[in-house]
Structure formats: structure tokens, C-alpha cells
Amino acid sequence: MSTIAVVGVGLAGVRAGEALRAQGHDGRLVMIGEEAVEPYDRPPLSKQVLLGTYEACDIALTDTASRAELDAEWLLGTRATAFDPVTRHLTLSDGQSLHAEGVVIATGARARTLSGVPELDSVHTLRTLDDARRLRDDLSRPGRVAVVGGGFIGAEVASAARALGHEVTIVEFEQMPLLRQLGSAAAGVLRRLHTDHGVALVTGVSVTGLVGRDRVQAVSLSDGRSLPADVVVVGIGAVPNTEWLAGSGVALDNGVLTDEWCRTTVPGVVAAGDVAAYRCRGGRRLRIEHWTNARDMPATAARSLLATLRGEDPVEQPAHDPLPYVWSDQYDSHLQIAGRPDADDALELVSGSFDSGFVAVYRRDGAVTGVLAVDSPKEFGRLRRELRGTWATR
Amino acid sequence: MIQLCSVEELTPGTVTRIARPDLPAPLALVKVGDRVFCIDDTCSHETASLSDGWLDGHEVECPLHESRFDVRTGRPDCPPARRSIRTHAVQLVDGIVYVEESSVAAEEPAR
């Protein structure tokens, strides 16, 4: 009876555990989670949890019935600190050693922080439930909020802070939010969403320092200006949690390198979710931090791992190569993006108008590379399906 | 019984939304073969309208976050939705679709 350890119990870890059981693993299953709380879903952290409409129980990824079905040993509040590929022992933060024939790496990513600035109480990143609670507490008092980074997290936090009545400013390094990801036409739409809702944008600048003693008072900007702020939220991306794998033989390069079947360079070790930098068809490496990837990738990882443990060739199983999909709720608008457009791909309106709800497609050399929609879920769904068809056969 | 629409108004392969002042909650109707299924139109996860979603056999996919609900049981197949949506028994009388009034009566959300 083999032991499989799932390291990390965010969405990818929980889905990996469920997939392992669904695909027939009847041995020991150990779920190792750094946080001492039951697994939870992250998208609501920057929305409903900040607004106070959801509590922890509303974002649980498991319940009594699903945990019973999973029949796993849970080591919560415990981190894996090392893995020895020869003895196949995981070292845990509480000093325990765990022998596992199979390992699923699902340690995700942590929020990137500003470097070279003092640590102040009212400066936040947002990645965990604890983060969200602390930020919610700070947002329960009146004050000026500065959001560093105009990406999805920044935009959603700005939106929530505004809804709570705060004066909000977004500081964005590019000239427009998500300019490098979505191009100027789409970034212009997002910029207008912010300004229409009374959120100020300071663009083309970076943060050079934070002013304050215990709590922040102002943000120093690269153009010499000082932006007064009582609360600062830093949303400048995420760093994959791979340090514990140093010396394990698991190849790393901005994440855990895997092939199309989620296999790492160590046999019997697979990776899934935000931490996995997988190779898709054509050899391109992708580390996707989208929720849907964390939901869907573990099925491939589990299939592949079980095949390896049975002595079969995982390559006969389906590879992981989905059409990327991400959504974001900002103010009262719902954004949906499918595919992998480049910022300089041509954006062509399919229906609606950039001033309100619309669906548009990105094209490169005539071929659709992505679909973008604001408040048009039905039409988006149709075009996403068409794109999925060409994606699968490209 | 509440009269909803005629069977002829339901196009196979699509989800038809019925939202009216006399209905406590918006409903979605689906015709699969000779049978008509009635579910709540609002996804149990957030506020998406399932009639904007995709129908594949007996499953309706939420247009926002892709959870699929079985129209026969109301059960979702994967996260983010975890709670089932309500299903409502319909009656077909002379080509007209009816639903039981008590079945669609407003209920407090489970949360």
C-alpha cells in the first residue's frame, strides 16, 4: 500500500487529493498544509471577504462529507521543509519525517512584497485568509487607501475599498493597468472602470519608499511625489513557493518545471497549480496563476502519478494543455478573459461597446488568440468554446 | 400551479430563462428529448444567470466560473459551486409547462 503526500492544500492540493481517490488510489493519503485552517478558496478574499459578505465558512473547499470521502491524514499548520529523492522522505517543519512513494507539489505562490521598505502595520499583501482578515480590519476604519499595482488583485481590492467608502488611489508602474497583458484598448477600458467609480490612478511611477512609524502615513513615488495613505495594499504579483525543494533534484526555474503530464524531474513527483511551470505543446513554458488552472491541472497530475506508481507510461494519458481562463470582478463589472493574447494583438469588438458591456477578440495573423468580455457572459461563452476548439487542434 | 410557457417556446440545446413578477425566483427551463426540466436560474456560487450558460446533455455550465449543474438533480460537478441548485418538477398539460407554486416559493439562501 503506497503513501502519497500532497504538499499544499489550496485549491490545487485539495483537487489533487480528490483526483487521486477518484482515480483509484486506495493507499495512504497525507495532506500537508502550512496554514492551520481548513482548506479554503481564494478568489473571494479580495471581494466578498473584504466586504464582509462572506466569512471563512463560506469559502471552505471541503466539508465533513467530502473530507470523509477523501479519507486522508491532514497535517495542518505544518510545512514541508525538504524532500530527499533517494530515501523519498519529506522533512516537515515540526521535525517529523514522512516516507512517500508519490508526492504532489501544490505549494502555490506567495505574494511578492516591496523590497527595501520598512515593515509597517498597515501595509498589506493579500494571499491568505489571515491577510484578508487583517486588511478587512484596517478597512473598517476611515482612511485613505493606496493600492500598489493595478492588476487583478489591485483592481479588486480598490473596488472593495471604494465600496467601503474609502478614498482610493492605485499606483501603477505602466501607463495603464494591465497594459502589458491586455494591450492599450482593453487597458483603457479598465482604467475607465476605476475612474468612473472615483478611484484615482497614478501611473508610470513606482514606489520608492514608505513613510511612517508603526503605521504608514505616505507612499513615496519615483517622480518625487508623496501620496498620503493610511492603508497600503501591495498587489505586485506572486513568487512560487519552491525554496523547500532546493537540493531535492526537482528542477526549478520560476516554479517547478514539469512536462505536459505534470511530471517533475524526479520520478513519482508531480506538480500542479500556481507553483508548476509546465511545458505545453510547442515547448513553451507556462506558469499559470489562474484559479481554473489550479482546479483542472491536478487531474492530470494525479493520473500521471498513479500511472507511474503502477509502472505504466503516463504519456498514454491526456496531457495538460487547457485554454487559459480568468475572471475578475471589479466594481459592478464582470471581466472574463480566455486564451493567451499578446498585448500587441489586434483587439476587435464583436458586440457591445467599450463604453459598457462588450465581447471582443484578440487576433494575430488573422487567428483568434483570446476573447475578452465585460458583462457579456453568454456571448463570451460561445466565443470561448470556438477558441477552445481551435486551441485543442492547433 | 404556475403557468410558465408553451413547450414550443423551448429550443432544444438552449436554456430558457423565465423571470416574472409572479415568480419568487427566476427559473431556467431546459428541454432534453421529450422531457422538460426546471431549475433555479441563479448559480448557487455567485449571481450568474445559468440561462447565459452552456447546455451539454443534462448539464448546464455556469457562464462565469464553469461549474456544471445536472438539471435532473441540481448537483454541481466541480468547484467553485458547492451547493446544489433547486430543481422543480414540471407538468406538461396540452403543450403548456406548469410548475408547482410551493416548489418555487422563495427560500432563504442556505448560507
pLDDT tens profile A309-340: 999 999 988 899 899 999 999 999 999 999 99
Instruction: Compute the average pLDDT of residues A198-220.
Output: 97
Preceding peptide of B80 cis, ω within 30°: yes
pLDDT tens profile A265-289: 999 999 999 999 999 877 889 999 9
Q: Look at residue B82 in the predicted model and tell me its pLDDT.
A: 87
Taking the alpha carbons of A375, A379, A383, A388 in that order, is the dihedral positive or negative?
positive
pLDDT tens profile A232-244: 999 999 999 999 9
Closest chain B residue by Cα to residue A325:
B65
Q: Look at residue A122 in the predicted model and tell me its pLDDT.
A: 97
pLDDT tens profile A84-128: 999 999 999 999 999 999 999 999 999 999 999 999 999 999 999
pLDDT tens profile A344-362: 999 999 999 999 899 999 9
| Assigned C-alpha cell, A21 | 481517490
Q: pLDDT band at A394, cuts 50/70/90?
A: low
Q: Look at residue B111 in the predicted model and tell me its pLDDT.
A: 43
Determine, for residues B52 and A295 on separate chains, whether the beta-carbon distance falls below 8 Å: no
Closest chain A residue by Cα to residue B110:
A58
pTM of model > 0.90: yes
Q: Does the pLDDT value for residue B108 go beyond 70?
A: no
Report the gap between the CA of B6 and the closest CA in chain A (Å). 24
Instruction: Compute the average pLDDT of residues B51-60.
Output: 95
Instruction: Compute the average pLDDT of residues B18-30.
Output: 94
Determine, for residues A327 and B65 on separate chains, whether the beta-carbon distance falls below 8 Å: yes
Instruction: Compute the average pLDDT of residues B14-21.
Output: 94
Q: Look at residue A384 in the predicted model and tell me its pLDDT.
A: 95
Q: Does the pLDDT value for residue B57 go beyond 50?
A: yes
Instruction: Compute the average pLDDT of residues A9-19.
Output: 98
Q: Look at residue A26 in the predicted model and tell me its pLDDT.
A: 97
- Chain A residues within 8 A (CB-CB) of chain B? 11, 15, 41, 43, 58, 61, 63, 291-292, 295, 325, 327, 334, 336, 377-378, 380-381, 385
Instruction: Compute the average pLDDT of residues A290-315.
Output: 96
Mean pLDDT value across chain B: 91
Percent of chain A with pLDDT over 90: 95
Report the gap between the CA of B93 and the closest CA in chain A (Å). 31
Mean pLDDT value across chain A: 96
pLDDT tens profile A141-160: 999 999 999 999 999 999 99
| Assigned C-alpha cell, A75 | 497535517
Nearest-CA neighbor of A146 among A167, A163, A175, A165?
A: A167
Q: pLDDT band at A393, cuts 50/70/90?
A: low
Q: Look at residue B106 in the predicted model and tell me its pLDDT.
A: 73
Contact list in B for residue A11 (CB cut-off 8 A) is 79
Determine, for residues B63 and A381 on separate chains, whether the beta-carbon distance falls below 8 Å: yes
Q: Look at residue A202 in the predicted model and tell me its pLDDT.
A: 98
Q: ipTM of this complex > 0.90?
A: no
Q: Does the pLDDT value for residue A138 go beyond 70?
A: yes
Closest chain B residue by Cα to residue A375:
B64
pLDDT tens profile A42-87: 999 999 999 999 999 999 999 999 999 999 999 999 999 999 999 9
